[in-house]
Chains A and B, each alone.
Chain A
Amino acid sequence: MATITGNLNERPTPARRGTSSLQRLGELAIESLIRLCGYSAILFVFGIFFFVFREGAPMLFGGLDLLKFFTSTDWNPVSKTPSYGILGLLAGTASVTVLSMALAVPLGLGAAVFVSEFCSPKIKEALKIAIEMLAAIPSIVWGFIAYMMLNPLIIWATGAPVGLNVLNASIILALMSVPVIVSVGEDALKAVPDSYREAALALGASRWEIVYRVLFPAAKNGLLAAVLLGIGRAIGETMAVLMATGNANQIPTSPLDRVQTLTATIAAELGEAVQGDDHYRVLFVIGILLFVIAFVVNLSADLIVRGIRGKQNA
């Protein structure tokens, strides 16, 4: 009886057990390393938020008049009686984001439709490479383009005294967020089963009718996620807008007005603020605000994408 179970279980000989336990140790080490890498991502996110929050919190919960913070345009952090109103900066960020999306969404979704539905495989490859390269351009280079090329172009085209304004920054941000809109949008269209296209085609629909009668309704969540990710990209961008907006804290009334954004304010003023004083801390409160906006935008994009997957599995 004992021998039978022994044979069946086939215990490893002492020598083999040695190597296998060593192997197992190695595997365990690698596994925990990988696990660590995974968890560290979460750790970093929380770490960063904690750090930003710690610097901003004393001001957020003591001293800062939140009502004034959000409703006043008076941003004057270095005067004797400092005032911290970010309405102008919010308006700056909002105007640039809205106008850039007005440009980027049609362009990006149009390109996504073209790449996924209309063009030949060869052109598709070429376009995808071009779009990836567009995504890889560093934001400081976009800043240069805004400053050196778009600026004179806008002056020449509109007669405005300066070409650094909402329009300039919006064009730059649009170009920066188009790649993400195109690639996520194309994925969403690609995920629509081919049988839908065939069904519509067999009923006499043209390719364009298939796009707006079948693909848009079928892929609307993925396309919405693409747009939200584009918005996230536009809101968070700093360097390029710092160079493109003209940096004047005001509520714009036309696309040719200069503005200043939340991100650019932090980048421009953090260096001169004294560490630990109110100005410094208010800049971190703005950081928290940006964090929250980015979080909400990304989370909704994520939930929407997950919604699609869930539905497809059902």
Chain B
Amino acid sequence: MAPQTYSICTRDLNLWYGDFQALKKISVDIRASCVTALIGPSGCGKTSLLRCFNRINERYGNVRTTGEISILGKNVYDEDVSLSELRKTVGMVFQRPNPLPISIYENVLFGLRVHTRHNAINKSQRDELVETALSDVFLWQDVKDKLQSKATLLTLEQQQKLCIARLLPLKPRVILMDEPCSALDAEGTQAIETLIDTLKERYTIVIVTHNMSQAARTSEECIYMLLGEVIEHGKTKTIFLKPQRKETEMYIEGRYG
């Protein structure tokens, strides 16, 4: 396994919420600079797996994990890993858009303010970073005249774009998305999918989705999960056209039929 080919590799990853085991012996290699979709029925552990990659599930007191996750070749459970640095490298987009209740401008810069010393970057550099990030998510034209207004007043689609934009100044390598379109209408969904398409060359993207056609449209690889286990992992085309396992076939057909 060469580190350039794979961004995220897990080995025998188990996760418990209290006594309940939500992930069982997960070993997957997720390709770099490629969109991987996590699919599976409700409650199968997609969100749990995704939230392991930036270790954000540890904020709940009852979570216990064993096994190994290496991101860009480094085990995230090593003693010397800084959570803050990990989350800088591995950005996350949530199911419900959650911009912070501050200005659009400050939302984009939030990560940078956390990660750099005060005044390490000057005003014009900041302005430029904000413009670049917002342009990258096709939001600049909509908001360039109201950068100082509150981010929570934007439409849901714009909010979700902003939530992606605020990751970019940190130069992440991996972007995790947990059903990023489930709160959006058809138009918003399409806009985010287009956006994912333009981002996938620069970032490794893992996207959880309930929407089979979305998985088919956006992803190159697909991981099918069931009851906390990975059932099948392969090229999206293969999974959809010639699934190797009975369970996968039933799920995909069930969804189509």
Enumerate chain A interface residues (CB-CB to B < 8 A): 120, 193, 195-196, 198-206, 209, 213-214, 217-218
Contact = CB atoms under 8 A, between A and B. Distances in A.
Interface of B: 54, 56, 59, 61, 83-88, 91-92, 94, 96, 98-102, 110-111, 113-115, 163, 166-167, 170
B115 A204 contact: yes
A214 B99 CA distance: 11
A198 B94 contact: yes
A204 B85 contact: yes
Interface SS of chain A: helix
Contacts of B94: 195, 198-199, 202
A199 B87 contact: no
Contact of B114 (A196, A209, A217): A209
Contacts of A217: 101-102
A115 B31 CA distance: 43
A198 B56 contact: yes
Most buried by B among A202, A206, A209, A217: A202
B113 A213 contact: yes
Contacts of A202: 54, 56, 87, 91-92, 94
B100 A214 contact: yes
Given A202-B54, A202-B87, A204-B85, A196 B115 contact: no
Given A204-B170, A205-B114, A213-B114, A196 B84 contact: no
A214 B96 CA distance: 18
Contact of B111 (A196, A198, A204, A214): A204
Contacts of A199: 94, 98-100, 163
Contact of A196 (B83, B87, B100): B100
A108 B59 CA distance: 25
30 contacts: A193-B98, A195-B98, A196-B101, A199-B94, A199-B98, A199-B99, A199-B163, A200-B114, A201-B56, A201-B59, A202-B56, A202-B87, A202-B91, A202-B92, A202-B94, A203-B88, A203-B91, A203-B111, A203-B167, A204-B85, A204-B111, A204-B115, A205-B110, A205-B114, A206-B84, A206-B114, A213-B113, A214-B100, A217-B102, A218-B101
Query: Top 10 nearest A-B pairs by Cβ distance?
Result: A195-B98, A204-B87, A204-B84, A203-B111, A202-B92, A199-B98, A205-B114, A204-B88, A218-B101, A204-B114
Nearest to A196: B100
A196 to B, nearest CB: 6
Contacts of A195: 94, 96, 98
A200 B56 CA distance: 11
A205 B112 CA distance: 10
Contacts of A203: 87-88, 91, 110-111, 114, 166-167, 170
Contacts of B84: 204-206
A120 B94 CA distance: 26
Given A195-B96, A196-B98, A205-B114, 13 more contacts: A196-B100, A200-B110, A201-B56, A202-B87, A203-B91, A203-B110, A203-B114, A204-B111, A204-B114, A205-B84, A217-B101, A218-B100, A218-B101
A200 to B, nearest CB: 7
A195 B101 CA distance: 11
A196 B94 CA distance: 11
A199 B91 CA distance: 10
A209 B111 CA distance: 11
Nearest to B88: A204
B48 to A, nearest CB: 15
A199 B87 CA distance: 11
Contacts of B170: 203-204
A200 B94 CA distance: 12
A193 B100 CA distance: 10
Contacts of B83: 204
Contacts of B101: 196, 217-218
A21 B88 CA distance: 70
Contacts of B114: 200, 203-206, 209, 213
B88 to A, nearest CB: 5
B95 to A, nearest CB: 9
Contacts of A193: 98
Contacts of B115: 204
